[in-house]
Amino acid sequence: MPFPAIAAAIATAASSAMAAVGTVGLAGLAQGAMIVGTGMSVIGGITGNKTLTKIGMGIGLAGGVGALANGMRGASMMSTGGKGLLAADGIETALSAPTKGSGLKTFAPIDASRPLPVDAFNNSSAGLGFDGKFDPEFEKTYFQRANDTLTKYNTTLNIAGCMGQAYMQGEQMDLQKDLLDKRLDFEQQLVDRVATNNGTVLEGINPSISAANTGRNSTAYSGMLRGA
């Protein structure tokens, strides 16, 4: 697929995504971020892969759940063995307060034999030098990087930062094409009409009057017609 076609397809899909997500609610998107963030943090904690933990924390911030980190950590400390994530009072409070994260209630209970995601989140973040507390500096660093990313890739496809602009540009081009097509049709009709007029003999009419009033070429029709 050529690049403009891909861009148009993405623009259409993204605009539709905007509308759909807007109507469904952004809680789903935040829920997805929480799912991935927690999953990555857990795997990162289990395997000791700090890259995964870093990804998990970043996704959490992007999904708007980074601000819940303090609440999560508190809930983790409150929870006792085998108690699920949502069983902690702190989490319920944290989830009910912001508009985002309401969908988090759909989380499955966590197996008691495995480390809690929040514990994995804590352990991994501690390993990254966060010392068990949510670090606003990390948030700032993350968003600074996000800003740089948006700036860097904005020119590539004009999707991330100015999706609407790209979409509107496409719409305007379509509109201009429609107008141009209509104008061409109109001009073609005009040419056809003049050609038709010029091919019709106007008997009994002074050619000079005819030319002045109708715009037709009085000598345009063929000699055969003249002789007829």
Using rule CB under 8 A, residue 160 touches other proteins: yes
Using rule CB under 8 A, residue 13 touches other proteins: yes
Choose one: 70-78, 155-163, 176-184, 203-211; the region binding other proteins (CB under 8 A). 155-163
Task: Dihedral sign for Cα 76, 82, 86, 89, please.
Answer: negative
Least Å from the CB of residue 97 to other proteins: 15
What would the two tokens of residue 88 be?
């902690």
Using rule CB under 8 A, residue 100 touches other proteins: yes
Least Å from the CB of residue 101 to other proteins: 11
Choose one: 47-55, 86-94, 187-195, 218-226; the region binding other proteins (CB under 8 A). 47-55
Which backbone phi and psi does 116 adopt, to 5 degrees? -65, 145
User: What CA–CA distance (Å, rounded) separates 66 from 37?
Assistant: 10
In whole angstroms, how far apart are CA 47 and each of 41, 72, 120, 124? 10, 22, 11, 10
Least Å from the CB of residue 86 to other proteins: 12
Least Å from the CB of residue 43 to other proteins: 4
**Number of residues that make up the chain:** 228
Dihedral of the alpha carbons of 210, 211, 214, 218, in degrees to the nearest 10: 80
Q: Out of 31, 76, 79, 125, name the contact with other proteins by CB under 8 A.
A: 31
Instruction: Give whichever of 80 and 156 is closer to other proteins, judged by the CB atom.
Output: 156
Collapsed DSSP state (helix, strand, coil) of residue 206: coil
